[in-house]
Structure 1
Amino acid sequence: MKLIELCNLLEIQMEVQEKLIEFEKNIDFKGMEQELEQMKHPECWEGALERLKSLLGSDEDGMKILTCQLRCVCDTYDKYEELGISKEIFIATMKFFTRFLQDHKDRHGSFRYVWAWWAVRQISMVEYRIGELEYEMRMKDNRFWIDIHIPADADMTIGKLRKSYLEALDFFKKYYPDFAGVDMVCGSWLLAPTLKNVLPENSRILQFQKSFEIEHIEEDSLGFMDWVYGGRDIPLEELPEDTTLQRNLKTYLQNNGKIGWTTGKLISNPFCEG
């Protein structure tokens, strides 16, 4: 697959596409073959990214490294086909790029790519979006587990979440049997028990929480600020109030409330009605 074909498949914004196509003509991909290849291997991510950034030089809006990573995604597409993984899952997984580009545009008024450090997961095929949720395969000290990530555009209705979970069980059983039936865990501000203080009882987020057993809470983490307000260095009085959640949460924080970051393990039969 060629870069322009990938951009069209993922519906990459035209303003971004124009920059990518121009950079593709001028970047010396031959001189960075090793770094590009290493981005496809989890154990090499960190060093490969640092060396690649050094080779690319000034890249204020991140479009150079985005060009490189999308070239890698073209190779990843071939691997999906070899394994027989559907194009639907490929598109859903790789629209990570499109979504975060648009998010930066919406929040800051311009397209900028700052997620190269995360995209290696999609490139190296350890993370897949299946339905509404993303599933990342993890392994340490001979222990296998799956991290669940919640995309910003996920439909959090219980039926959609359960459908995603059941499809994920089938997916890993078929393509990655070592990960069939392993624990699934989620670390997110969305699991914070204190959200009950700012959300209505019938909130989809509170319903989502019921499918997890809490394992750890970082009470002082400000990670939730990135997702709710777009940054954690905004003074309390200047926090935006564009949504009901932002308004309610702002009031709660101004009264010394905390949200933090919570890790939980998915229960054995999750996302059931009632």
Structure 2
Amino acid sequence: MRERSQSEVKEIIRKWYKVLKIPEQYGGDFQAYLENTTILPHITPEEYEEAGGEENILYCLYFCERLQERYLEKGIDLKILYDTLQELFLWTRSCSRRKGKLWLENLWWVKLHLTMKLFRLGRLNFCMGLEHNHLPQWELPMGTPIMEVHIPRADSLTREDCKKSFAQARTFFATYFPEFQYRYFTCHSWLLDSKLKELLPQDSNIIKFQEMFRLVSETESQETLHYVFGAGTTRENLSEKECSTSLASKVKERVLNGETFHESYGILK
């Protein structure tokens, strides 16, 4: 196959920049990066090694083209592609806000989307993975294929929407990846912290989501602070943060009084 020219490569990057609707305020950064960067057209997402935030965003936009081709080859609805790639938009927006210019880093997460390991199916993300813990009581030795569940940021997390996503995932992976024989759905998240039951009403969406899983382990984590108050929040600077929700007020009070929150690990058949 003929190797694409730089002009062809950059036209593809421009196309996906528009498709993903990167905020217009970063248009100047984007044009400058594009003019000053040479893109290797043959490189794949698997081969790409994270570089500066400028190069990262250009390469990831370029990789979207091949990803679309792979979806079409498998016959996967392109709506799923565009839903899945919303995470690239959100990740880019988050990195850019922190940096103050167009930026993309920590590509381990984005690469899951670009290498067809992770898919947005309805309300939830599902990622083909391998068990990292040793859980013999659940017949889950390390290395067992599992379906990891991730929760994209959105307005609501209703039990009904989640059940639809699980049903869609079972059909989707059986249809398009029948060779991936997983035992369980798993989720590792601050949303599964059992301490949240003390802070939220029993009919809250978070508690209903927790109840879908059997919780098997927990580790101390500051992820609750990051998601409730924003990236960079720590126990040390929490007193400076404003509370915009009742949950934030309760979390702040608990942490300033010496309590710790967790990320918990749950499984679902």
Pair in the same fold by TM > 0.5: yes
Q: Which residue of 1 aligns with 2:5?
A: none
Conservation of the 8 A alpha-carbon contact between 1:147 and 1:184: yes
Alpha-carbon distance in 2 for matches of 1:217, 1:232? 21
Alignment of 1:225-264 (within 5 A): 225-229=225-229, 230-233=231-234, 234-264=236-266
1:161 is displaced (CA, Å) by 0.8
Gaps of 5+ in 1: 54-58, 269-274
Q: Distance in 2 between matches of 1:182 and 1:77?
A: 29
What is the Cα deviation at residue 251 of structure 1? 1.0
**Would the alpha carbon gap of residues 213 and 184 (structure 1) be closer, same or farther in structure 2, given more than 3 Å must change?**
same
Total equivalences in the alignment: 247
Contact 2:20 2:86 in 1 (8 A): yes
SS of residue paired to 2:179: helix
Q: How far did residue 110 of structure 1 move?
A: 5.5
The percentage of counterpart residues that share the same residue type is 23
SS of the residue 1:217 aligns to: strand
The change in CA–CA distance for 1:12 and 1:29 in structure 2 (over 3 A counts) is: same
User: 1:13–1:98: 8 Å Cα contact kept in structure 2?
Assistant: no
Distance 1:120 1:181, change over 3 A: closer
The one-letter code sitting in structure 1 at the alignment partner of 2:90 is R
Which has a greater percent of helix? 1
Task: Note if contact 1:89-1:130 (Cα within 8 Å) is conserved in structure 2.
Answer: yes
Cα deviations across residues 139-196 of structure 1 (Å, max 9, x unaligned)?
3666211110001116301111111111111100100113356311000000000011
**Structure 1 residue 215: Cα displacement:** 1.3
Residue type at the aligned position of 2:257: N
Partner of 1:179, secondary structure, is coil
Q: 1:9 is matched with which residue: 11, 15, 19?
A: 19
Q: Write the mapping of 1:57-136 to structure 2, written as runs, cut at 5 A.
A: 59=52, 62-104=53-95, 111-136=102-127
2:54 and 2:102 in contact (8 A); partners too: no
Shift of 1:76: 0.9
1:189–1:108 distance in 2 versus 1, CA, 3 Å? same
CA distance in 2, matches of 1:10, 1:174: 27
Q: 1:204 to 1:95 in 2, by over 3 A?
A: same
Give the TM-score normalised by the residue count of structure 1. Answer: 0.81
